[in-house]
Amino acid sequence: MQKEREILPDYRMAEKRKWKAYVAIFAVMAFVSAVVTPVAIMTFDNFACRTQPHGPDDFLAYCRSPRYGDYEHGALYYGLEPKARESIRAAQVLFLGSSRLQAAFAANATREYFRARGIRYFVMGFGYGDVSPFEQPVMERSGASPKVIVINTDPFFVEPNRLSEPAKEAIEGGPKYLWRLTQKMAFQRVHRIICRVVPLCPESEPSIFRSATDGQWNWIGPYTEEREVPIDQELKERIPQFEIERAKTIGEIFLNRIGLDRRCVVFTGIPSNGLDLTEVAEVLATALHTRFLAPKIDGLATVDGGHFNSRSAELWSAAFVEALTPIVNECL
Amino acid sequence: MLAVMWLVIASLVFYSFDDPYRLLPLILSSITFNFFIGRMLLRSQNRALLAIGIGGDLLLLGYFKYAGFLVETLNAVTGIALPRPNIDLPIGISFFTFTQIAFLVDAYRGEAREYEPFHYTLFVSFFPHLIAGPIYHHKEIMPQFHLQENFRFDISNFGFGLTWFALGLAKKILFADVVAQYATPIFNAAAAGQAVGLVDGWIGACGFGLQLYYDFSGYTDMAIGLALMIGVRLPLNFDSPYKALSLVDFWRRWHMTLSRFLRDYLYIPLGGNRKGPRRRYINLLITMLLGGSWHGAAWTFVMWGAIHGFGLVVNHGWNKVSYRLKLPDPAAWALTLGFVMLAWVPFRADSLSAAFTIWKGMFGFHGLAPAGSVLAGQITIAVMYIAVLLAVALFAPNSQQLLSYPRIIIAGFRRPIRFVPSPPWAIAAGIVFGIAVSFIITQRPTEFLYFRF
């Protein structure tokens, strides 16, 4: 012990003032580095995520890098992108559905149509197949009060427990998840600046950008290349009748909760391989007394059999919004 | 007294938080038993009473720590099939048992004082040391509990303790836990019966040696820091052990408080070096075998203790016969480090066969990398990380040198390094602390290795 006593000097002799300053600086630096370090690590881990092509108000909704993955579920659920939350709240026309909806309305035609009419809209579909069980709470948390709702019923109305992992994580919202989500929010901003200043970013990981103003995806290019996989009319399958019946029940509850005039609720079925979604939309619209719209266009194609390619999205969405005009005029 | 009571309650809550109905009665009964035996010993110095006291302590430790091991060994030796008792090892039992055995022995020798019950309870249960040491001595701690000024908040104690704590946390999170990612898969592979190559074997052994050092010395720094924050000074436990030039030197630098305990309460009572060289070597072997067994109830720990006991015998023997043939320092250092790293293998391995698998790999019996490395594409980064951590252990000042020694000259630096409560030190320590905390939040730290002992 004698040796240790010699080793440990008596710091009580030092001035208290110096020690107070020391502890204060220590605390501030500890806080700053505890906040900065995870963002730095995340930047290092996800450096290959894309920053281009990036719209003026886009955020990085998804990056295939395993340390980033999905961001849009949590970001829209918790309002981490304030402009996106504000856009959902203020949207007069709200589009709901899965990633098929996002692909179909990832088109300039949609943007130009609403811009020309001064109508605020938001395309609020989600990847991972998340539909009503996740989109309803997002709408409620964002304070959405649309005048027109467009729903891609594929079939959209499903049991409350049918949630993807990103949606479950967002709803459970543990502290670790929220902390990681906050890091993702900070990371993409830091990453963008770094890649702008130092043009050495690999820009190699498939990524999806999402506009905070209108919710449209920017994904052909940064996520997948344009492909022409024709929609095969012969391969149509039918959704089982019991699922349609269940969708009617859940749809009724959903629409009652929203409380919007059903004449201002539009069901559609975006064409894709495998399922006859147009027919499903029509059946549900009849049962739930909503409007039904499904423009018929030949020669549509997808990138993967399920999601429109860029050309088809432009063609189909242009036809759709044109057909939507009377309803928009009636409801707004 | 109020402060002491408060610390006793806080320490007991801390200790028993995980399983209060089991841990609280256990530690309180151990404290009560030793307190009263110690009090009687101070009055009578009765040898039988000492035997009862130590026997009771060892019985408790034996039941919780060694019952399963003994049954397993008995089954293996005799071929019978007694059911293995399923007893969870209470956290910190080895540490508080040893602390109290030392107290009983000193009470018997008349080298202890009669303490107040609350002071004694705090001595045993003081939360910074309770789980994994350092194993302190009543003579160095009790006087501090009696000083009123120690229990008044003092910003200098707090700031100094915070710095120690930050340094320890950084060692644990940034060094030990990271290097564990490379060492653990290799030991797991060996446990699963997979052959381990030469490169993997050395990465595993050296990686674990560094993990254990930074883990345990990091824990000790945190314990010292926490105690300093409330004005109590704990003994140091590590003094750059991997700089040792001999095995004897290594044991003066590694887990110093355990070495001190084994020396004062086992080796010297056995006769130490007073009864001739042969008896001395036997005493050394017994001490190290028991020291190894103290770490855990498994033949791997017995093997580790035996290797070190044998190494110490050779080291002392060499010192005796070859005082004219002194090895050059680099050779002595390399020999010592190599021996220590080889000896860590059974300490970490799940079984003796897994230890032999790693050893065979380290000596090239399985080739450079049989059927591919366990670490796949991470070998380069693992080697680099181990090299960096080893360089830090060898060339950087250790915690007490960095924070306390008045003047330390580091090779290559002209200016002496000395801790002062200045803004640059606050910035550096704060950043290190923040980084470690952010790692805790974003990643999953492994548990402290010495908690299970």
Q: Which of A8, A46, A184, A187 to mutate to test the interface with B (most CBs of B within 10 A)?
A: A8
Best CA proximity match to B182, nearest among B313, B316, B373: B373
* CB contact set of A229 (below 8 Å; sequence gap of 6+): A273, A301, A302, A303, A304, A305, A309
Q: Which residue in the list B295, B308, B316, B366 is annotated as catalytic?
A: B295
Interface residue of B141, B150, B153, B160 to substitute, partner A, most A CBs within 10 Å: B160
B170 pLDDT higher than 80: yes
Q: How far apart are CA B207 and CA B341, in angstroms?
A: 9
Chain B nearest C-alpha distance from A187 (Å): 14
Give how far B405 is from chain A: nearest CA, Å.
6
Res. B412: pLDDT tops 50 = no
Q: Which residues of A touch B437 (CB under 8 A)?
A: 30, 34
Looking at CA atoms only, how far is residue A105 from chain B in angstroms? Answer: 36
CA distance, residue B279 to nearest chain A CA (Å)? 29
Question: A7 and B236: CB-CB below 8 Å?
Answer: yes
What local confidence, expressed as pLDDT, does residue A235 receive? 59
State the sign of the Cα–Cα–Cα–Cα dihedral B278, B282, B285, B288: negative
A197: CB partners within 8 A, 6+ apart: none
| pLDDT given for residue B34 in this prediction | 92
A-contacting residues of B 164-193, CB under 8 Å? 166
At CB < 8 Å, which residues of chain A contact B?
Answer: 1, 4-5, 7-9, 11-12, 14, 16, 18-38, 41, 176, 179-180, 183
Q: Distance (Å) from the C-alpha of residue A10 to the closest C-alpha of chain B?
A: 9
pLDDT at position B84:
79
* Residue B411: predicted pLDDT: 43
Give the number of C-alpha atoms closer than 13 A to the C-alpha of residue A221, restricted to the C-beta side: 11
d(CA A139, CA A85): 9
Interchain proximity B434–A34, CB inside 8 Å: yes
How far A70 CA sits from the closest chain B CA (Å)?
17
Residue pLDDT, tens place only, A307-328 = 999 999 999 999 999 999 999 9
Using a CB-CB distance cutoff of 8 angstroms, which residues of chain B are in contact with residue A11?
Answer: 156-157, 159-160, 421
Whole-number pLDDT of residue B449: 57
Kindly state whether B441 is in contact with chain A, defined as any CB-CB distance less than 8 angstroms. Answer: yes
For residue A7, what pLDDT band results from cuts at 50, 70 and 90? very low
Q: Is the pLDDT of residue A254 over 90?
A: yes
pLDDT number for residue B2 = 79
pLDDT of residue B446: 58
What confidence tier does B265 reach under pLDDT thresholds 50, 70, 90? Answer: confident
Q: Is the peptide bond before B185 cis (omega within 30 degrees of 0)?
A: no
- In angstroms, how far is the first alpha carbon of chain B from the final one? 32
User: Rounded to whole angstroms, how far apart are CA atoms B96 and B7?
Assistant: 17
Q: Which residues 257-286 of chain B have a CB within 8 Å of chain A? A: none
Round to whole Å and give the CA distance between A164 and A166: 6
pLDDT at B414: 42
Model pLDDT, residue A301: 92
Q: Which residues in chain B have Cβ-Cβ distances shorter than 8 Å to A176?
A: 441-442
Confidence of residue B366 (pLDDT cuts 50, 70, 90): confident
Average pLDDT, chain B: 85
B353 alpha-carbon distance from chain centroid: 25
Question: A15 to each of A156, B131, B445, how far by Cα in Å?
Answer: 68, 34, 37
Q: Considering only CA atoms, which of B439, B417, B441 is closest in space to residue B428?
A: B417
When comparing pLDDT for A237 and A225, which is higher? A225
- B-chain residues within 8 Å CB-CB of A5? 233
Work out the pLDDT band at A6, boundaries 50, 70, 90. very low
Give whichever of B227-241, B415-429, B435-449 has the largest mean pLDDT. B227-241
Contact across the interface for B441 and A38, Cβ inside 8 Å: yes
User: Which of A22, A36, A183 has the CB atom closest to B421's CB atom?
Assistant: A22
CA distance B242 to B344: 13
Task: Say what the pLDDT of residue B324 is.
Answer: 67
What's the gap between Cα B19 and its chain centre? Answer: 24
Answer yes or no: are the C-beta atoms of A300 and A100 closer than 8 Å.
no
pLDDT of residue B450: 54
Q: Could you tell me which chain A residue has the CA closest to the CA of B137?
A: A1
Q: What is the DSSP string of B140-185?
A: HHHHHHH-GGGGS--HHHHHHHHHHHHHHHHIIIIIIHHHHHHHHH
The answer to ipTM > 0.85 is no
- The predicted-structure confidence for A77-128, as pLDDT tens digits, reads as follows 999 999 999 999 999 999 999 999 999 999 999 999 999 999 999 999 999 9
Nearest residue of A to residue B435, measured between CA atoms: A34
B312-347 per-position pLDDT tens digit = 999 988 887 776 677 888 999 999 999 999 999 999
Q: How many whole angstroms separate alpha carbon A216 and alpha carbon A61?
A: 11
Please report the number of interchain residue pairs, chain A to chain B, with beta-carbon separation below 8 angstroms.
115
| Chain A residues within an 8 Å CB radius of B426 | 21-26, 29
Nearest to B155 among A19, A41, A179 (CB): A19
* Residue in chain B lying closest to A183 (CA): B442
pTM: predicted TM-score of the whole model, two decimal places: 0.75
- What value does the mean pLDDT take over residues A179-189? 91
Pick B156's closest partner by Cβ from A19, A25, A27. Answer: A19
Residue A225: the pLDDT is 92
Average pLDDT for A290-318: 93
In this prediction, residues B218-233 reach a mean pLDDT of: 89
Q: Which band of pLDDT confidence, cut at 50, 70 and 90, is reported for residue B406?
A: very low
Locate the chain B residue with the closest alpha carbon to A27: B430
Whole-number Å distance between alpha carbons of B162 and A156: 55
Contacts B433 to A, Cβ<8 Å: 26, 29-30, 33
CA atoms of A234 and A45, how far apart (whole Å): 45
Give pLDDT, residue A122: 98
Q: Looking at the partner chain, which of A21, A27, A41 has a beta carbon nearest the beta carbon of B442?
A: A41
User: Does B438 reach chain A within 8 Å, measured CB to CB?
Assistant: yes
pLDDT at res. A38: 84
* DSSP codes joined into one string, B389-411: HHHHHHHS--HHHHHT-S-BPPT
pLDDT > 70 in chain B, percent: 93
Annotated catalytic residue B295: yes
In this complex, is the C-beta atom of B159 within 8 Å of any C-beta atom belonging to chain A? yes
Distance from CA of A208 to the nearest CA of B (A): 24
Please check whether residue B434 touches A, CB under 8 A. Answer: yes
Distances (CA, A) of B263 to B56, B258, B260, B339, B431: 22, 8, 5, 22, 40
Nearest-CB residue to A23 (from B155, B434, B438): B155
Higher pLDDT, A170 or B442: A170
On the 0-12 / 13-18 / 19+ scale of CB atoms within 10 A, A252 is middle
Q: Who among A5, A12, A33 is closest to B430 (CB)?
A: A33
pLDDT tens digits, B78-96? 888 888 788 787 888 888 8
Confidence of residue B65 (pLDDT cuts 50, 70, 90): confident
The partner residue sitting opposite B438, judged by closest CB among A5, A28, A34, is A34
The pLDDT score that the predictor gives to residue B80 is 83
Q: Do A27 and B157 touch (CB under 8 A)?
A: no
Which one has a higher pLDDT value, A259 or B113? A259
pLDDT of residue B371: 62
Other beta carbons less than 10 A from residue B142's beta carbon: 19
Q: Residue A187 in contact with residue A42, Cβ under 8 Å?
A: yes
Percent of chain A with pLDDT over 70: 94
Highest mean pLDDT among A288-292, B199-203, B375-379, B397-401: A288-292
User: A30 and B236 in contact by Cβ < 8 A?
Assistant: no
Q: Who contacts B349 (Cβ-Cβ below 8 Å, separation ≥6)?
A: B187, B190, B191, B300, B355, B358
On whether any CB of chain A is under 8 Å from the CB of B140, the answer is: yes
* pLDDT tens digit sequence for A27-63: 999 999 998 888 888 888 888 899 987 788 999 999 9
Q: What is the pLDDT of residue A236?
A: 63
Give the model's pLDDT for residue B341. 96
pLDDT band of B404, cuts 50, 70, 90: low
**Residue bearing the bigger pLDDT, B198 or B441:** B198
β-pairing, A301-302 with A229-230?
A: antiparallel
What pLDDT, in 10s, does the model give residues B236-259? 889 899 999 999 999 999 999 889
Inter-chain touch B159–A19, beta carbons under 8 Å:
yes
Question: Which of the residue ranges A264-268, B280-284, B361-365 has the most confident prediction, judged by mean pLDDT?
Answer: A264-268
Who wins on pLDDT, A4 or A290?
A290
Q: Could you tell me whether strands A207-211 and A58-63 are parallel, antiparallel, or unpaired per DSSP bridges?
A: antiparallel
What mean pLDDT is predicted for residues A266-293? Answer: 90
Question: What is residue A117's predicted lDDT score, i.e. its pLDDT?
Answer: 95
